[in-house]
Chain A
Amino acid sequence: MLNAEFVAVIQVLVYAGAIMVLFLFVLMLLSSKDSEQYVNKWSVGKILAGLLSLGIFIQIAGLFTANELQLGSKGEYPLEVVEEVGSITLIGRLLFTDYILSFEIIAILLLVAVIGAVVIAKRRFQ
């Protein structure tokens, strides 16, 4: 267990509650009748894509299973502290002290994204 119950709840809320509903709304508005046109017929590109992603996977897996990975210096929140105080308390404390500037910037970003989406989707084309 990773003791990240806040992340789990946020993930379910955002992805099942917001993003999936958004995708379903867009799929409802867009009608894609024939699925034939989406088949990639260029088989050399398929092989290249497979080889490239296999290479990326080998690189990432090699990096993740390397022995040097375990040598990082430990932080100040061991399992006992997280279980005693609770991860939500710790995240909130960090978010409103050390990362307050990032928090404000991300709030502005979300506002800009919502306004931009309304402006882009509202425009009518002839």
Chain B
Amino acid sequence: MIPIEHILLLSALLFIIGVLGVMLRRNVIVIFMSIELMLNAVNLSFVTFARSLDSMTGVVFIFFIIVVAAAEAVVGLSIILSIFRTRKTLNIDEFNLLKW
């Protein structure tokens, strides 16, 4: 039996890796993968809390989070694709169309 603190710390560590990836990397696809990593870290802590509190609600919520993550990946990647057609780059600093 793994103590739940270890699983929760692993989930916090995964979340921080995702945060660092979003803040340090400039490639928009890597940033996108880091966002997925953060969502999965939240999933891990959800399933841990659901088990330790004898509840099933957390597991149902994971289902919803995975669906939202999949929808976000689909829409986000198609946005990246259509921006790449005009800008010819994947560097997020070049994506400044909304800046005035």
Contact = CB atoms under 8 A, between A and B. Distances in A.
A18 B70 contact: yes
A49 B24 contact: yes
A96 to B, nearest CB: 11
A54 B91 CA distance: 25
Interface in B1-60: 1-2, 5, 7-9, 11-13, 15-16, 19-20, 23-27, 29-30, 32-33, 36, 40, 43, 45, 47-48, 50-57, 59-60
Interface residues of A, number: 66
Interface in A83-126: 87, 90-91, 94-95, 99, 102, 106, 109-110, 112-114, 116-118, 120-121, 123, 125
27 contacts: A6-B59, A22-B73, A22-B74, A23-B73, A30-B80, A32-B27, A38-B90, A49-B23, A53-B19, A53-B23, A56-B15, A60-B15, A65-B5, A65-B8, A74-B54, A75-B55, A75-B56, A77-B56, A79-B54, A87-B56, A94-B57, A106-B67, A113-B70, A113-B71, A117-B75, A121-B81, A125-B85
